[in-house]
Amino acid sequence: MLVIPIASNLYKVVKEMVHTKRLIFVTGIPGVGKSLLIQQMALIASEAGREVHLLRYNLARQPFETEVNITKYPEIDGVTDPAIRKAVGLWARQAVWQWHQAHPAANQLLIGELPLIGNRLIELVEPANDAAEPLLTGEQTLFVVPVPSWEVREVIEATRARTVAEPQNEQEKLDAPPNVLHLMWQSVNQLARDIGLTKASPQTPYNPYIYGGVFEALLQFRPSQLLLIDEVLRPSRSVYDLDVLAGTLAPSAEAANETMAQVESQYSYAELSELVQNWHALITNNPRLPDAGPELRLPLPETLAGAPDETVLTAVQRTALQKIINLPLDAAPEQTILALAEAMAVLGVATAVPTTPANVHKFDVYDSYFNVSRSSEHSGLTFLHGLLQAYRNVLLDLQKPPHTLTVIELPLLRIALETSLRQFNL
């Protein structure tokens, strides 16, 4: 059953994807709506006359889990052994290329689910010198990252707790329980800290900006798109129920045996364990910070486009502004307000810049947080003074219940402010 509203922007985006692409890979950690999105993609594609084939990690690994392999490489605490994970990845890369060769018709569509985390099908996003690479980087392929909002993520977690307790489908029995969802989010957040994407604490709750940024970085060598899911979708049946599939990619017993033999001949067990531990080497060994995205950037107005290069800051001014940037994200609002006041005092702007008072009703986290009145006559220093003043107003106005900023919104404000300050080469 189609649950994405036909009039929604999400429907339009998904429809465009399944109408124009030949291979679509949905990536992300458990608990972000990958399976539901895949189900909805398949339904929309089928309505358009496309024949849909599916690649799913949990299905692809089953032929590898023979009695012989499980004896050699047992599953521990529900976690698949590194040797089997690597074998599934190597097989999948070749299988995608073989599917492409075997199904040349324009109406054929392959949808894949790529967890990536923990070395699960990471091979499909890692560059390699083989026949599949041009296909995986071509215009007919798209890697999609569903990014649920805070509200949607909460609903997904509650739903997962229910389906794990009372599964409606055999595949739901393989789903990660809520505690694993939290652990995997913490892994992503730690990865974001490791590559310098965020200064949020290791215990920070799910954050769509951090999550999307990490997967955008992981997909830096692939055509990709972040897809914001900001509306709760409530399917009436299991997200794994799909009766429109033309086929499912899974290895034959012979292919599984051949790939396992390849893994055993090419890697030691220590090397396989290291690959799983360092599954994110694509970005941690060669970091490339992802674009912060328009939601977190506060661009200078067009009339001040050259202000950063034309503005000369004194050593005292630079020190005061850097002090703001260096504050921890969890700094108390009072501490931040004091640093803002010190910086405003040394910027040397004679008169206060007109600002729009902070809305006493909660700010929408997808909006810009500062609205400083500016004109072509205002210098870079005036812009900076107004920006700090507006930020201070927000903190002053939104400290008292019931309109206080959340533990998520406060860091987002800081990130937005820092991004604007750094445009002045701080």
Residue-level pLDDT at 351: 54
Q: What are the residue boundaries of the structural domains of the chain, listed by start?
A: 9-284, 296-422
Cβ within 8 Å of residue 27, ≥6 positions away: 34, 114, 115, 116, 125, 143, 144, 145, 215, 218, 219
- Within the chain, how many helices (H) and strands (E) appear? 17, 6
Q: Is the pLDDT of residue 358 over 50?
A: no
Mean pLDDT over 306-335 rounds to 86
Residue-level pLDDT at 359: 44
- 3-state secondary structure string across 35-96: HHHHHHHHHHHHHCCCEEEEEEHHHHCHHHCCHHHHHHCCCECCECCHHHHHHHHHHHHHHH
Buried b / exposed e along 40-76 (16+ C-beta atoms within 10 A): bbbbbbbeeebbbbbbbbbbbbebbbeeebeeebeee
Mean pLDDT is lowest, of 91-100, 300-309, 380-389, for 300-309
Mean pLDDT is lowest, of 47-51, 139-143, 183-187, 409-413, for 409-413
Mean pLDDT is lowest, of 348-352, 362-366, 413-417, for 362-366
CB-count exposure of residue 207 (10 Å: 0-12, 13-18, 19+)? buried
Q: Token pair for residue 117?
A: 């985390």
23, 100, 110, 225, 331 from 140: Cα distances, Å: 6, 11, 11, 13, 46
pTM of the predicted model as reported, rounded to 2 decimal places: 0.69
Mean pLDDT is lowest, of 31-35, 357-361, 377-381, for 357-361
Q: Is the pLDDT of residue 418 over 60?
A: yes
Cβ atoms of residues 113 and 38 within 8 Å: yes
Q: Is the pLDDT of residue 234 over 90?
A: no
The dihedrals phi and psi of 93, each to the nearest 5 degrees, come to: -60, -45
Residue-level pLDDT at 19: 96
Closest CA to 106 of 187, 174, 49: 49
Q: Is the pLDDT of residue 374 over 70?
A: no
Mean pLDDT over 262-267 rounds to 94
Q: How far apart are CA 177 and CA 31, in angstroms?
A: 9
Residue indicated by tokens 């999948």: 92
Instruction: Give the residue with greater pLDDT, 358 vs 261.
Output: 261
Query: pLDDT for 155-165, tens place per residue?
Result: 888 877 776 66
Residue-level pLDDT at 294: 35
Q: How far apart are CA 351 and CA 414, in angstroms?
A: 25
Strands of the sheet with 141-148, listed across from one edge = 224-229, 141-148, 23-27, 108-114, 51-56, 245-248
Mean pLDDT is lowest, of 78-92, 172-186, 255-269, for 172-186
Cβ atoms of residues 28 and 125 within 8 Å: no
Q: Name the range with the highest mean pLDDT among 83-97, 301-315, 347-361, 406-420.
A: 83-97
Q: Token pair for residue 350?
A: 């004679």
Query: pLDDT for 51-104, tens place per residue?
Result: 999 999 989 999 999 999 999 999 887 778 999 999 999 999 999 999 999 999
Measured on CA atoms in the order 241, 249, 184, 72, is the torsion positive or negative?
positive
Instruction: Give the residue with greater pLDDT, 211 vs 26.
Output: 26
Q: Cα 272 from chain centroid?
A: 26
Cβ within 8 Å of residue 298, ≥6 positions away: 368, 369, 370, 387, 416, 417, 419, 420
% of residues, the chain, pLDDT over 90: 43
Looking at 289-332, list the stretches that DSSP marks H as alpha helix, in order from N- to C-terminal side.
307-310, 315-326
Of the pLDDT bands very low, low, confident and very high (cuts 50, 70, 90), residue 289 is low
Q: Is the pLDDT of residue 375 over 70?
A: no
Q: How far apart are CA 102 and CA 110, in angstroms?
A: 12
Q: How far apart are CA 360 and CA 377, in angstroms?
A: 30
Mean pLDDT over 140-149 rounds to 94
Query: pLDDT for 120-129, tens place per residue?
Result: 999 999 999 9
131, 136, 259, 398 from 224: Cα distances, Å: 20, 11, 28, 37
Neighbouring CB atoms inside 10 A of 253's CB total 10
Residue-level pLDDT at 295: 37
Residue-level pLDDT at 173: 59
Neighbouring CB atoms inside 10 A of 100's CB total 20
Cβ within 8 Å of residue 71, ≥6 positions away: none
| Average pLDDT of the chain to the nearest whole number | 82
